Every structure is written in structure tokens, then in C-alpha cells.
Amino acid sequence: MTPIVSIDKLRVTFGSGAGTVEAVKDVSFDIASGETFCVVGESGSGKSVTSLSLMRLVEFGGGQIMDGRLTLHRETGPLDIAAADGDTMRDVRGDEIGMIFQEPMTSLNPVFTIERQLTDGLRVHRGISGPAARDRALELLKEVRIPEPEQRLQQYPHELSGGMRQRVVIAIAMACRPRMLIADEPTTALDVTIQAEILALINRLKRETGMAVMFITHDMAVVAQIADRVVVMYRGEVVEEGPVDQIFSDPQAAYTKALLAAVPRLGEMRGKPAPEPLRLVGDTSEPKPLLPKEDPEPLLQVKNLTTYFPVKGGPMRRHVANVHAVEDVSFTLNKGETLSLVGESGCGKSSCGRSILRLVEPTSGTVILDHQNVLDANHRDLRRLRRQMQMIFQDPFASLNPYMRLAAQVAEPLKNFGLASGTELTEKVAALFDRVELSRDYMRRFPHELSGGQRQRIAIARALAVSPKLIIADEAVSALDVSVQAQVLNLMMELQADLGLSFLFISHDMAVVERVSHHLAVMYLGRIVEIGPRAAIFEDPRHPYTKALMRAVPIADPSRRKLEDDLKFKPIPSPIHPLTFTPDPSQYEEITPVHKVLRVS
């Protein structure tokens, strides 16, 4: 195999003087045509910096290539990208190397049509314009399998869905037939079904054009699905490189082993009676399954919960329509158990959690928490009820007040309810820090001094402060690196075992959900389409949407690849309905007394 790109002892630094940070240290690898080369690592591993160096875009972010060679093997001879001038690089970018980015919402310019953005590269690099360029643009849209490509040309980015936008971004990158495509986390911001479609598309384009793909991701499951060869990076260094099968079956480096141990794999809980903590490297103890009680008592009963958000329109901002965020949702969560709400973005899972806490006001329904009606509660009762249910949020960076010391933030709920003061308060807070395994030294610090995982521990400590019975965890581990995610998940499960907590676990990640749940509810368009015990749903999914979701989830195991050509899932319809619209009630078919599937009307 002849390499297209050879990276040799690359070193990149940011900043200068005493504040210099070495983001990439001595990184070397080759990428050959026709292969998918995955660069995998957690945040701060230098994977994106490496790819940006290859495009010489790293300078625009304040980075500097200090050392090393980046050789692009062209037909006319090798070119050292590290030493190339601006004009040469402009020729390389978008022509010989195409690039796609993580966020399809922001990598397209909102004020230009799709055609204009597709033909830009052709005009610059190939001198093609007018009808010829339009024909080529159309061809490209067909190549990335966009439905109704003719109409798309004249549309603007906001008129397309996220998945379609990412297809357009890929089409733009493919416009000049690049010899290498750099994809930097191209599916991270996408829903799992769309992710599966995009991965299949990249795979097919690679096969058809013979280009090399440099695929950057943090997600081991995606790596297992798409990679030919893998390089694992950690803190700016390469820790391991090899074919994908070898990396997964026989990892050599300690870091790779630890990383793989932390990844929940869909299907690995098969046959296990209850959720159990992940077994991390160095952990020799036998994992304790979280067996449910013999005759569990219900803690939270949700009946016919419905939440609409008004859509305002017209010059008078009148109420013209409703977003049906949560539609006739009913479920029961038992004491000491975890019920997960899963679904893709916009399915109403978060709105459902927030409605239960009344952070948004539900339209109708009943929520009974430990024999008390939450939705009827007045202002004072609600405050009292909130002592029993707490929430952990997704973004550990935004859910802590940057201006308050950590101890004060953990103490706040205790103070609010007058549960402790003075030295007692300090001691209670210190005990909470111990409980979430954070050093007491952190008590006097501010949020910015902590990593994402540590902040999430603070958020958990804050939620635990008032000894609630129920914790609603809204995508609580989604923003964390996989090794940190595993630790936080294990902590949550440990807390459940020790304190008898109930979790309403809201997540989009099927593998994580399989790991932590006793029961599972799959949501789609505001409704629960299937609900039941974890084993029943994972081993015997009945609803078409549950099946589609299972089919789309990537598995962190290269021997279980499922990249089919041109995967196409049904797009989710709009949840916005006119005011006069009366939805049908949710009616369920019982597969077993506990496993129910929404009747398709």
C-alpha cells in the first residue's frame, strides 16, 4: 500500500513563553489510499490538532507546528505540508484533501444556497462555473443520496434536517474528488439512526472512489464499525497503532485496555438479571448486580402526562400552534430501581423529566411521588416535594455557577431547606464530597478548576444533599469522556445500592442504558412506544422504532459490524400541530403484563 500522507514526528504547541502547551508530541503514522484510518482518543488527546495540522488550519487556532514532517504524496512528487506556503495550501485544501466537521448546523453558511456552497470549491479549484457546475453539484447530491436533489440546490441550510446538512457537508468535501477525506467527529452531534446512515455513506464513498479516510472520533463503537486501522492517542501522544481487530481483541497498551474496559457494549448484559457496575481495569472485586426487591413498591407514578409548548406567530405573537413535546405518557418507577427513557433528540424525553419536576409546567396528567400529587401541589408544597426529587443535568460546565465556591453550591439545597447550618453544614458538605469520591480540598475551589467528570460529581453531590428518593439524570454522562463516564455510572450505581435511590435515567445511548436500567421506556414523538423490563426490550424488541434504533446503534466490537449500504431510516415527523388538533390516546398492546407496545393507529 502506498501512503497518501505520512506524518513524521509531528509536534504542535499552543501559546508561548511559560504558558506553552504541547498539544501533540512526536506523533507519526501513515495513511494509505482506500483505507479508513481512525484516530481515537478522549478530549485533550490531540486528535483534532493532528488533523488540523494536516490541513495547516491549526495556525488559525493559535497553534504552531514546531517540528516534524507532514508529507503529502502527490503525483508530482512529495510535498511537505509543514513547510508549504499559503498558496500551495489553498490548492491542497478542498482539492486534494477534503474535510468535514462535527457540527452540521454551523459548518454551512446560512445565507447561501446549497448550490452556491457546493460549487464554490469547483469554481476555485477546477474553474468550473455556470451550468457545468450546477450539473456537478446535482451529481454530488445524488452521490450522497439526498432525497429530491433538484429541489435541494436552491434551498438554504435551515430548510434541511441535521442529517441532510451533514450529507451536504460531505458532498462539499467530495466536490473536487479529494484523495483524502478528513472527518472530525462527523457523527457526534447526530442522532444514532442518522449516525448509522452517515457512517454507511462515508464507507460507500470510500469504496467507490478509493480515497483515504482519516476519521477522528472519541467513540470506540464508531471505531469498531468503520475503521480499517486505528491509532489511539492520549495526551498528545500515540499510545498504540494497529489493525482494528487487533486493537479490540488484543490491545497492548495499558491505556487502550482501560479505555476498552470502560466502553459499554450493546448486548453484553444479555442474560444478566440486573444492572451491574462496569468492571474497570484494576478492579478485582466481583461486580455486585443491583437486584430489585422481591415485591417492589412504586415510588413515582406518571399517568397520562402531557406537555405542550406554545408556538407563537404573526405580528401580534399570537398562540398559533403547539409543540406536542410529551404526549400521554404513563409509567411507574419502583423504589430502588432505574427506569430509563431513551430516544433521539426531540422525542420528548427531557421535557418529560422536566415536567415531572415541574421545571416546565405540564399541560395535563398526574404525577404521584410517594403518594403525593406533584402537579396539584402549590408553590410551598412543590418546594417541599422537590426535597424528594433532584436533577442532574447534561452539561457539567453549565450546571454549576462559575461565581460560587463548590462547597457553597453543594450546601445550597441544605441551606434552602434549613436542614443544617454552621459547622454541621460544613461537615455534611464534606461528607457529601467523600460520598462522591472527591477530595475535600476541592471544597474551597471554583468550578473552572475541575474537569468535566469532577464537576458532574459535584452535581451529583448537590443532588444528594437533601437525601432525595428520586434523581432524574438528564443525559448525565453524555458529555463525559468514556473513562470518566464509566466512573460516574459506577458511582451512580453504587449510590443506588447503598442509599436505595431511584433513578429516572434519560439518555440517547442504548449501550449505557442497557448497563444501568431495570426498566426501559423507548420514546418517539412524545410518546412511549415500548416499555418493559430491560431484558424484554433488548432481547425481544417489538415496536418498529425500537427495532430501528437497535439496528442503528454501533457496537464496540469489529466482529459485529452492521454497516449496510445506504441505510435509510424514516425521518421523524414534526411534533407541531395546530391548536385544534386532538391526538389519539396512547393505547398499548400487552406482550407480557409488564412489556407493552404502543398500538399503531
Partner 1 sequence: MRRFFKGKGLVGTFIVIAVLLVALLAPLVIPDSYATQMNMRARLSGPTWDHLFGTDQLGRDLFYRVVLGAQTSIMIAGAAVLMSIVIGLPLGIISGYFGGVIDNVLMRLVDTLLSFPALLLALTISAVLGPNLTNTIIAIGIAFTPFLARIIRGEALRVTQMPYVEAARAAGTTDAWMIVRHILPNIMPAIIVQGTISLAFAILAEAGLSFLGLGTQPPNASWGLMIQASRDYLDVAPWTALVPGAAVALTVLGLNLFGDTLRDVLDPRTET
Positions in the binding site for partner 1 (CB under 8 A)? 357, 359, 383, 386-387, 389-391, 393-395, 398-404, 409, 412-413, 416-417, 446, 448, 459, 462, 465-466
The minimum distance between CB 393 and partner 1, in angstroms, equals 4
368/466 with CB nearer partner 1? 466
As given in the structure block, the three cell numbers for residue 550 are: 437497535
233/459 with CB nearer partner 1? 459
341/357 with CB nearer partner 1? 357
546 vs 83: CA distance, rounded Å: 52
Q: Phi/psi class of residue 559: alpha, beta or left (left: φ > 0; alpha: ψ in -120 to 50)?
A: alpha
As given in the structure block, the three cell numbers for residue 55 are: 490541513
Sign of CA dihedral 400, 401, 405, 411: negative
The minimum distance between CB 423 and partner 1, in angstroms, equals 21
326/522 with CB nearer partner 1? 326
589 vs 596: CA distance, rounded Å: 6
| 477 within 8 A of 456, measured Cβ to Cβ | yes
The minimum distance between CB 562 and partner 1, in angstroms, equals 35
The minimum distance between CB 53 and partner 1, in angstroms, equals 29
Helix (H) or strand (E) holding 489: helix 482-499
138/425 with CB nearer partner 1? 425
474/557 with CB nearer partner 1? 474
181/406 with CB nearer partner 1? 406
Q: Which of 329, 334, 319, 336 is nearest to 354 (CA)?
A: 329
Q: Which of 536, 530, 533 is nearest to 549 (CA)?
A: 530
201/385 with CB nearer partner 1? 385
71/451 with CB nearer partner 1? 451
553 vs 67: CA distance, rounded Å: 40
What contacts 594, CB < 8 A, 6 or more positions away?
A: 532, 533, 536
Question: Three-state DSSP class for 185?
Answer: coil
548 vs 567: CA distance, rounded Å: 11
* Rg for the chain, CA atoms, rounded: 26
Q: Which of 434, 470, 447, 472 is nearest to 397 (CA)?
A: 447
Q: Which of 479, 403, 393 is nearest to 445 (CA)?
A: 403
The minimum distance between CB 489 and partner 1, in angstroms, equals 20
The minimum distance between CB 356 and partner 1, in angstroms, equals 11
The minimum distance between CB 446 and partner 1, in angstroms, equals 4
The minimum distance between CB 386 and partner 1, in angstroms, equals 5
Sign of CA dihedral 412, 418, 422, 426: negative
The minimum distance between CB 427 and partner 1, in angstroms, equals 19
Distances (CA, A) of 178 to 144, 145, 225: 15, 19, 23
The minimum distance between CB 448 and partner 1, in angstroms, equals 4
218/445 with CB nearer partner 1? 445
Pairing mode, strands 63-74 and 3-14: antiparallel
